[in-house]
């Protein structure tokens, strides 16, 4: 049935469970845009009119339950021969899955779960609803750890015909009370017994009674003594075992009087003053000889045959009675008939009177999603009295977002129907996410159901990578979450850039280059230089050299020339004579190497007569001078001038 739509609003998505009588699907409520669970009655029960009527009545009754530990029933409907119930969707495993995975649960956890189940049963019993099928498969554990009891109503709607359906008994007989196994009347104490079995299984990781067939297991519930939990798991406190023993007493009169009494016992069983209490003892009935087994159809047939034989034997004996005695019996029968007729007529009169004053029932119309005025008018037309409760809700202001009881429940005329009307979405103060991890901020915004979360990344030198730098709307702004898009500016961490090549550039130009690269200018230091005599020329950068990668915003210090030679420099003039024959032309090139640099071409020209050149030399302790003269491209002679020679 995946993909099918029921009632025009419930889109079935996938099957998530099922049993002998129904199949459960995860679905979407297209009207309220929420996820729900839809339980669909199996087709073989849809043709049983008696079963269907019971199902409807019980579903309506369960829909009236409102308790945090009971799965809410939203709607009940029919489409052709398909009968379905729409319930709250719980995302999480059932208790049976938890026990199968973990085995015996910690005592405190088992007691915590039992308290919530017991609280749900107490609420149901106060509303005259008996579950009749308490078992771990019907206990759901939500993601937040909250326990939810489900399948109210289905168990009560089951007739004697369903008890033999495949899977019905096999799934529940381990949790039957003795009176259920015997075929007797079930009441609140049957639910208490079943809860005792569930608690036993949580504490020990196993069931108290098992067997090869449902009949075998049922007989053990009736006849065999309970294997005590502390024999299996000695660390169970005596106070907790006492609760199990009392809940599982075979005689209903020895069990807890109510789920409320068991709940109060569970809430205090782990207190220090109770953990070493004495083991509970039950009175022994000396007249008890056996436990009665279930009365089967075969036993009933045998009983009727025996009654018929007894009746025939009685007729033969009566023929031997005297005629006087027959006349006495005739008078007795006449009087008995007269009194019986009188009582029958009186009963008929009482029934007629009750029917004449009985208030007719009407079906509650669906008004969810309507405006208040329209909803009130619908209820008044149905002869029902609207009661309005206003609350904040995502629906538009004045819209009915929930009604209790829900359709198609029937009520007496002039009964009250509560309408929950939206006051509009509630504004809240926008929380601050600045400085938080972006992933955590996204999770919190999703849980608060904000309309949209937009992530924009940017580099930041202060905020660590992945953390929120800024947000829109700003913190403490009043917003409606469902209508608000939130933009989070998230840090990509520090930006890294290369130190630009500014050596040889004027100081002003170098500063501009550094700032354009995203760097700051640090200290500027002047220094004498052999190579550069022009002032304010960048000689070097520190502590980082050009082309190194550093974080944006790092300070880069500069060393610039002051236009002077170092103090240990020795400056001298050196004459060079180039001799040329008359009428001859010579290409002259003079190359100088000194402290200012190597292979400096200081003269390059053509001469046709002798010429004197005076060269300026700068020497350092580490660098002497060398002068090489070329004529017509050929080395003519070389001069060497040492640093010491200039003293």
375: domain CATH number? 3.30.10.20
Q: List all residues 6 or more positions away from 365 whose beta carbon is below 8 Å from its beta carbon.
A: 378, 379, 381, 382, 407
Checking if the pLDDT of 323 tops 50, the result is: no
Give the list of residues 6+ apart from residue 248 with CB closer than 8 angstroms, or none. Answer: 193, 196, 197, 200, 208, 226, 255
Q: Let me know whether 182 and 223 are in one domain.
A: yes
Residues 595 and 634 in one domain: yes
Is residue 300, in this structure, part of any structural domain at all?
A: no
Q: Counting every residue, how long is the chain?
A: 647
* Pair (530, 548) in one structural domain: yes
- Tens of pLDDT, residue by residue over 72-90, are 888 888 888 888 889 999 9
Residues 205 and 100 both lie in one domain: yes
In this structure, the answer to whether residues 554 and 593 fall within a common structural domain is: no
82/228 same-domain check: no
Q: Is residue 530 part of a domain?
A: yes
No. of helices (H) and no. of strands (E), the chain = 17, 29
User: Domain containing 51 — which CATH number?
Assistant: 3.30.200.20
Q: Which entry of 133, 191, 265, 624 is annotated as an active-site residue?
A: 133
| Per-residue buried b or exposed e for 45-61, using 16+ beta carbons within 10 Å of the residue's own CB | bbeeeebbebbbebbbb
- Could you tell me if 586 and 642 lie in one domain? yes
Checking if the pLDDT of 459 tops 90, the result is no
How many structural domains is the chain composed of? 6
Q: Is position 361 within any domain?
A: no
Looking at the structure, do residues 190 and 233 belong to the same domain, yes or no? yes
Boundary-marking domain end, from 471, 491, 511: 491
Q: What is the pLDDT of residue 176?
A: 86
Which of 390, 383, 440 is closest to 415 using CA atoms? 383
The mean pLDDT value for 505-521 works out to 92
Active site residue 133: yes
> Same domain for 376 and 476?
no
In the chain, the N- to C-terminal Cα span, in Å, equals: 109
Q: Would the pLDDT of 555 be above 50?
A: yes
pLDDT band at residue 152 under the 50/70/90 scheme: confident
CATH assignment at residue 574:
2.60.40.2560
- Domain of 530 in residue numbering reads as 496-561
Q: Which of 561, 588, 612 is the last residue of a domain?
A: 561
Is the separation of the CB atoms in 235 and 107 below 8 Å?
yes
Last residue of one domain, picked from the residues 46, 63, 88: 88
Question: Tokens at residue 407, please?
Answer: 């359709």
CATH number for the domain spanning 250: value is 1.10.510.10
Q: Chain-wide mean pLDDT for the chain?
A: 83
In a domain, 288, yes or no: no
452-458 and 485-491 beta bridge pairing:
parallel
The residues pairing with 638 across neighbouring beta strands, listed in sequence order, are: 628
What digits encode the pLDDT tens for the residues 351-391? Answer: 655 454 455 788 889 999 999 999 999 999 999 999 999 98
351 found inside a domain: no
CB distance 51 to 157 below 8 Å? yes
Q: How far apart are CA 161 and CA 154, in angstroms?
A: 14
Rounded to the nearest 10°, the torsion over CA 93, 94, 97, 98 is 80
Q: Provide the 3-class DSSP secondary structure of residue 357.
A: helix
Q: What is the pTM of this model?
A: 0.47
Q: Is the pLDDT of residue 347 over 70?
A: no
Residue 231, pLDDT above cutoff 60:
yes
Contact 524, 560 (CB under 8 A): yes
| Domain co-membership, 125 together with 258 | yes
* 582 and 635 co-located in one domain: yes
Q: Does residue 330 sit within a domain?
A: no
In a domain, 337, yes or no: no
Higher pLDDT, 210 or 153: 210
Q: How confident is the model at residue 57 (pLDDT cuts 50, 70, 90)?
A: low
The reply to whether 39 and 141 lie within a common domain is: no
282: in domain: no
Average pLDDT in the 293-315 region?
45
Residue 308 has pLDDT above 70, yes or no: no
Q: Are 627 and 590 in contact (CB under 8 A)?
A: yes
**Percent of the chain at pLDDT above 70?**
83
């Amino acid at each position: 049935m995946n993909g099918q739509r029921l009632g025009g609003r419930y889109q079935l998505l996938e099957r998530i469970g099922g049993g002998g009588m129904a199949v459960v699907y995860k679905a979407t409520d297209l009207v309220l845009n929420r996820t729900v669970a839809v339980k669909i009655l199996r087709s073989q029960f849809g043709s049983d009119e008696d079963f269907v009527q019971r199902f409807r009545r019980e579903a309506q009754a369960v829909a009236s339950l409102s308790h945090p530990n009971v799965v809410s029933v939203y709607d009940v409907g029919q489409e052709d021969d398909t009968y379905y119930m729409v319930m709250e969707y719980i995302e999480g495993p059932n208790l049976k899955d938890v026990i199968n995975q973990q085995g015996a649960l910690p005592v405190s956890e088992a007691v915590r779960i039992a308290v919530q189940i017991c609280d749900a049963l107490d609420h149901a019993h106060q509303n005259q609803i008996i579950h009749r099928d308490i078992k771990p498969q019907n206990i759901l554990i939500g993601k937040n750890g909250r326990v939810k009891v489900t399948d109210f109503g289905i168990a009560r709607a089951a007739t004697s015909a369903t008890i033999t359906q495949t899977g019905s008994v096999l799934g529940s007989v381990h949790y039957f009370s003795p009176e259920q196994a015997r075929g007797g009347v079930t009441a609140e104490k049957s639910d208490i017994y079943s809860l005792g079995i569930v608690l036993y299984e949580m504490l020990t990781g196993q069931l108290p009674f098992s067997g090869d067939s449902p009949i075998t297991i049922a007989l053990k519930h009736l006849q065999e003594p309970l294997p005590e939990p502390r024999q299996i798991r000695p660390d169970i406190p005596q106070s907790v075992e006492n609760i199990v023993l009392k809940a599982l007493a075979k005689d209903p009169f020895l069990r807890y009087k109510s789920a409320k009494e068991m709940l109060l016992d569970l809430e205090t069983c782990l207190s220090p003053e109770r953990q070493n209490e004495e083991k509970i003892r039950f009175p022994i009935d000396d007249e008890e000889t056996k436990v009665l087994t279930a009365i089967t159809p075969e036993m009933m047939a045998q009983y009727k045959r025996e009654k018929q034989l007894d009746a025939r034997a009685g007729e033969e004996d009566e023929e031997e009675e005297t005629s006087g005695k027959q006349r006495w019996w005739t008078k007795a029968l006449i009087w008995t008939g007269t009194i019986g007729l009188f009582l029958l007529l009186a009963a008929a009169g009482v029934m007629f009177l009750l029917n004449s004053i009985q208030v007719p029932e009407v079906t509650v119309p669906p008004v969810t999603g309507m405006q208040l005025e329209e909803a009130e008018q619908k209820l008044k037309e149905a002869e029902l009295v609207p009661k309005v409760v206003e609350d904040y809700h995502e629906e538009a202001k004045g819209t009915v977002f929930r009604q209790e009881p829900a359709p198609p429940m029937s009520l007496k005329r002039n009964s009250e129907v509560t309408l929950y009307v939206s006051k509009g979405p509630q504004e809240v103060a926008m929380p601050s996410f600045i400085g938080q991890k972006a992933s955590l901020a996204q999770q919190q915004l999703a849980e608060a159901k904000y309309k949209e979360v937009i992530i924009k990344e940017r580099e930041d030198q202060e905020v660590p990578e992945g953390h929120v730098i800024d947000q829109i709307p700003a913190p403490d702004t009043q917003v409606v979450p469902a209508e608000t898009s939130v933009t989070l500016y998230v840090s990509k961490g520090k930006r890294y850039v290369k130190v630009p090549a500014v050596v040889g550039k004027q100081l002003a130009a170098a500063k501009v280059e550094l700032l354009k690269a995203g760097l700051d200018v640090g200290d500027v230091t002047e220094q004498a230089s052999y190579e550069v005599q022009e002032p304010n020329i960048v000689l070097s950068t520190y502590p980082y050299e050009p082309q190194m990668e550093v974080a944006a915003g790092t300070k880069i210090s500069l060393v610039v020339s002051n236009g002077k030679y170092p103090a240990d420099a020795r400056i001298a003039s050196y004459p060079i004579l180039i001799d040329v024959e008359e009428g001859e032309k010579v290409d002259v090139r003079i190359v100088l190497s000194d402290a200012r640099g190597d292979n400096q071409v200081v003269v390059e020209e053509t001469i046709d007569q002798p010429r004197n050149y005076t060269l300026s030399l700068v020497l350092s302790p580490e660098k002497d001078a060398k002068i090489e003269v070329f004529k017509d491209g050929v080395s003519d002679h070389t001069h060497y001038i040492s640093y010491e020679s200039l003293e």
